[in-house]
Structure 1
């Protein structure tokens, strides 16, 4: 249904962002979540109207309260409307669990994922303090319930600055030290901490995920959307 709506409303291919020399990228879709892309307010309004009309034709309606507008590198502040109602302008929004912001970096997204991982970690307090469970079991539970929250969803796409790697590693190291019951003034080096908990550094983990993702992409056809994204140079 969503595919039909988007094909119908973007068939002319004139209101997207430049993707290749001969093709524009109109939208990113996942199930019922749509991210519409345009180079101007006028184009975005036209596309929004078209998508709304195609949706109504099959008995669906765009949820105005959940629809947000994010502007980048533009001075135009004219609102985008649906049925005469202004859609909310935001500086960031969440798409498929990741935060997209006007700066285009990963800082806000990583901060949010650390927050989610911390919440998951706090739920393991009884397990962490258990005297019946071995350290190995506690670490395995940590990897399954905390590490996967932090590093399994799109970590390979992060813009991995030194600051981002450090923030992420500090959080993980803090969790591991508590699992091993190492508290101030006791100390342990990072290398020994990782050895005792059978971990690798965040930097290495992200690097492995990137190589795995690139391997998947390179096996795709050259005109596949993810293959094109590797060499895409955004305008603006």
Structure 2
């Protein structure tokens, strides 16, 4: 399953991928920030906290996304069956709640959670950045493509808001896959 999906992921995707690391991307980000300070140029950086994102992923959308990436229906059904009828209890202050069904999200402890999350993020980035010129123009001929969300463009607040709007729109389109 992972082999069929890995060939479709963006080149910039390194997190949760076999034999890949985010070390180079972190180093590139650090150098970019240092250069921006040295050159006294504007730089907009967005950090997104995905801690709770696992809990809000729509499972029907995940099924569609898996099929979109070429995962067989049989595997999609197995994944879906692992979540059907998922019940939980909460222990708080020595008290245990009644059992309740969990209908959205993926468990962070689930073996495939990172893989499923990776697909969602990859799809959002592909959709929100398609057809545009990306990266930071270092010289007339050399461009840095490894950072999709670090971009100086024209430096205006409107440009930054437009990029955020494009990412938000891509996220909302997930349900229409």
Q: TM-score range by the shorter chain?
A: under 0.3
For CA contacts below 8 A with separation 6 or more, give which structure has more relative contact order: 2
Bigger Rg, which one: 1
**Scaled by the length of structure 2, what TM-score is found?**
0.25
Tell me the TM-score normalized by structure 1. Answer: 0.20
Q: Which has the higher strand share?
A: 1
